[in-house]
Structure 1
Amino acid sequence: MITSRIAARIEEQYGDDASSVCALLEEAEVRVFHEAAIERITAAVVILAGGSVDKLLDAIRLMEADWRDLLVASGLAHADWPSDLDDIFGAR
């Protein structure tokens, strides 16, 4: 799910392409989860991408292959991940 704080980061990193990035990410989530993913998954993709379209595509491929590996690679596989999201994207 692309929450407002994740959307704000995407807008910051991708500018005019932000809506296309959001659409691409939402389509990938539906392919993998058959619905919008939880914020943690979406955040993991955005963290790994770091504003790069190539890295975004790599992160989406990783999510499609095994979303748990995505969480490990992004540093969000531990129990205190909500705190990390607040630190990275701002508190809700």
Structure 2
Amino acid sequence: MVITSRIAARLEAQYGAEASSVASLLEEAEVRVLRESAEERITAAVVILADGSVDKLLSAIELMETDWRDLLVAAELAHADWRSRLDDVFGAN
């Protein structure tokens, strides 16, 4: 899984001591669904939709399992400007 420093910072801010458990849960789901680690955009989409809520995190993972493209649409990361959206939400690299 691509846990960039900016996504790791968001997980830490939103989940505190549970951030590493959340990261592991994301990694397991990505490998199960995509058969490999996901790119930052997919990981970010789950984090955006979860917005610090465990229930929303599980729903976002379920959406990824159903259709990861719908996940990108829901998180507004499906268009060509997705990199600038990531910068807006997580800060520039």
**TM-score higher than 0.5:** yes
1:2 aligned residue: 3
In 1, the alpha carbon distance for the partners of 2:61 and 2:67 equals 10
- 1:49-64 to structure 2, matched below 5 A, reads 49-64=50-65
Residue number in structure 2 paired with 1:90: 91
| Runs of 4+ with >2 A deviation | none
Once the two structures are TM-superposed, the CA of residue 4 in structure 1 deviates from its matched residue by: 1.1
Q: CA deviation at 1:2?
A: 1.3
Identity %: 77
Q: Which residue of 2 aligns with 1:13?
A: 14
Q: Which consecutive unaligned segments of at least 5 residues does structure 2 have?
A: none
TM-score w.r.t. structure 2 length?
0.97
Q: Note the aligned Cα RMSD (angstroms).
A: 0.6
- Equivalent position amino acid for 2:64 in 1: M
Structure 1 residue aligned with 2:30: 29
Q: Deviations over 1:15-48 (max 9, x none)?
A: 0100000000000010011111000000000000
Shift of 1:86: 0.7
1:77 pairs with 2:78: yes
The residue that corresponds to 2:49 in the other structure is 48
Give me the whole-angstrom Cα distance separating, in 2, the residues matched to 1:65 and 1:2. Answer: 22
Structure 1: state its 5+ residue gaps: none
Return the TM-score normalized by structure 1.
Answer: 0.98
Q: In structure 2, what is the Cα distance between the partners aligned to 1:24 and 1:41? A: 14
